[in-house]
Amino acid sequence: MEALDDFLRSHAQEDLLPWSVQVEAANRFGLTYGEIEEAALGMDILPVRYLRNRQTINTVQQLHLFRSKVAVIGCGGLGGYAVEEMARLGIGHIKVIDPDVFEEHNMNRQVLSSPGVLGKPKVEAAAQRVMEINPAVTVVPVKKAFTTGNGIELLQGINIVLDALDTIPTRLELAEICKKLNIPLVHGSIAGWYGQAAVQFPGEDILGKIYSRYKEKKGIETELGIPSFTPAVVASIQVAEVCKILLNEGKPLRQRMLSINLLDMEIVEIQL
Amino acid sequence: MKVTVKLFAALRKGRFDMETREYSPGTKISQVIDELNIPKDQVSIIFVNNRHAEPERQLDDGDVVAFFPPIGGG
């Protein structure tokens, strides 16, 4: 679209796109903020909101993130932080899957919960939050439980999956579906002061190894609960892994799991 | 024989982080778990000398065994 290209080029401040110009372009050309963002990034013009990403994630990579589709399965402690961080990072398409509504006892740790959203679907709060912080990002909220039955359909077209579930059998089902679809799966789980993270790449059976001896529904979180900081730490590690895998940078948590102990402030690596 | 036992996460509570302990030859991993009063459903991952192991495995002198509890919350 030549007119749009000209508009962006003439209104950009050097190679940066201020939000006000992004809004004006969307209105003028009848396009979404996301469409404007993709066009700008394609012209090597970076929305100013990503300026502090730039020394870490260049504009070409930012476009790649924008065109990526990530599914977040579970929108509680881990999922809430993951959605927030991925939207700020500039991942363009986030599908969030969770059947639950917010309850009062979620508010100690679930970043999307507040008195105003009690009783409301978690996935809708996620979509609302992303609309507020980065309206260029598309969120697809799915208020359903992830199952073996609907999993293949739900993950069609997804590049990478973030496991933010809270039951072990469903995590294993998710890992099976990701294996079938050849989608990388970034696992994270938490209990009390403790957490773990690992990545299952296509062809691997990492979750099967992590939970090989354990098929109960829940782990030690039923005894320990979950405080505010543990989901933030583990979700951040998961989002870093998502970013690295999408950009094919660095060394992912491949065939190794981080075991995180915030009480003794100790992180150990386990070879899987 | 001497076996070094490493405990992770909440398994340390009321026990220890790491100890080298004396066991009779032929002791199985499951016997170590029992001796430490760890409920069976609180051990999810077992490593012996940094490799996956099953509870029925017999330990050797000098082995390092590590126990991790199941963590499943989100």
**Model pLDDT for residues A87-101, shown as the tens digit of each residue:** 999 999 999 999 999
Domains of chain B: 2-68 (3.10.20.30)
Name the residue among A253, A249, A251, A250 with its Cα closest to residue A269.
A253
Q: Which two tokens stand for residue A34?
A: 């996301």
Kindly indicate the confidence band of residue A212, based on its pLDDT and cuts at 50, 70 and 90: confident
Is A196 within 8 Å of B71 when comparing Cβ atoms? yes
Name the residue among A232, A129, A155 with its Cα closest to residue A190.
A232
Shortest distance between the Cα of A159 and any Cα of chain B, in A, equals 21
Shortest distance between the Cα of B44 and any Cα of chain A, in A, equals 6
Q: Give dist(CA A171, CA A211) in Å, integer.
A: 9
Average pLDDT rounded to a whole number, residues A119-148: 98
Report chain A residues whose CB lies below 8 A from the CB of B40: none
Asked if B71 and A194 touch (Cβ cutoff 8 Å), the reply is yes
- pLDDT reported for residue A25: 98
Q: Is A61 inside a domain boundary?
A: no
Report chain B residues whose CB lies below 8 A from the CB of A270: 45, 47, 68
Contacts (Cβ under 8 Å, ≥6 apart) of A180? A152
Kindly indicate the confidence band of residue A58, based on its pLDDT and cuts at 50, 70 and 90: very high
Asked whether residue A115 falls in the same domain as residue A185, the answer is yes
Report chain B residues whose CB lies below 8 A from the CB of A196: 71
Residue type, A47: P
Report chain A residues whose CB lies below 8 A from the CB of B44: 210-211, 213-214, 219
Is B74 within 8 Å of A213 when comparing Cβ atoms? no
Q: Give dist(CA B36, CA B33) in Å, integer.
A: 5
Asked whether residue A243 falls in the same domain as residue A267, the answer is yes
Q: Which two tokens stand for residue B26?
A: 């032929």
The string of DSSP letters for chain A reads -HHHHHHHHHHSBTTEE-HHHHHHHHHHHT--HHHHHHHHHHTT-EEGGGGGGTTTS-HHHHHHHHT-EEEEE--SHHHHHHHHHHHHHT-SEEEEE---BB-GGGTTT-TT--GGGBTSBHHHHHHHHHHHH-TTSEEEEE-S---HHHHHHHTTT-SEEEE--S-HHHHHHHHHHHHHHT--EEEEEEETTEEEEEEE-TT--HHHHHTTT--SS--THHHH---SHHHHHHHHHHHHHHHHHHHT-S---BTEEEEEETTTTEEEEEE-
Asked whether residue A51 falls in the same domain as residue A73, the answer is no
Judge whether residue B66 has pLDDT over 80: yes
CATH number of the domain at A74, please: 3.40.50.720
- pLDDT reported for residue A187: 98
Measured between CB atoms, which of B12, B47, B71 is closest to A270? B47
Asked whether residue A99 falls in the same domain as residue A6, the answer is no
Judge whether residue A215 has pLDDT over 80: no
Kindly indicate the confidence band of residue A120, based on its pLDDT and cuts at 50, 70 and 90: very high
> pLDDT for A17-31, tens place per residue?
999 999 999 999 999
Q: Which two tokens stand for residue A247?
A: 């950009």
Shortest distance between the Cα of B68 and any Cα of chain A, in A, equals 9
- pLDDT reported for residue A213: 79
> pLDDT for A183-194, tens place per residue?
999 999 999 999
Token match 């999408």: residue? Answer: A246
Asked if A199 and A43 touch (Cβ cutoff 8 Å), the reply is no
Average pLDDT rounded to a whole number, residues A127-145: 98
Judge whether residue A54 has pLDDT over 90: yes
Q: Domain containing A81: what range?
A: 68-271
Find residues 10-29 of chain B whose CB sits inside 8 Å of chain A.
10, 12, 17
Report chain B residues whose CB lies below 8 A from the CB of A167: 72
Asked whether residue A175 falls in the same domain as residue A243, the answer is yes
Number of domains chain A contains: 2
Helices A229-247 and A77-89, interaxial angle, to 10°? 40
Asked whether residue A13 falls in the same domain as residue A72, the answer is no
Average pLDDT rounded to a whole number, residues A211-239: 93
Average pLDDT rounded to a whole number, residues A248-272: 96
Chains A, B: CB contacts under 8 A, how many?
Answer: 95
Asked whether residue A106 falls in the same domain as residue A206, the answer is yes
Asked whether residue A32 falls in the same domain as residue A135, the answer is no
Query: Phi and psi of A101, rounded to 5°?
Result: -110, 160
Asked whether residue A119 falls in the same domain as residue A48, the answer is no
Asked whether residue A209 falls in the same domain as residue A80, the answer is yes
Is A223 within 8 Å of B50 when comparing Cβ atoms? no
- For all residues of chain A together, what is the average pLDDT? 97
Is B44 within 8 Å of A268 when comparing Cβ atoms? no
Q: Is A63 inside a domain boundary?
A: no
Asked whether residue A47 falls in the same domain as residue A173, the answer is no
Asked whether residue A8 falls in the same domain as residue A114, the answer is no
Judge whether residue A214 has pLDDT over 90: no
Closest A-chain CA to B54: A213
- pLDDT reported for residue A1: 72
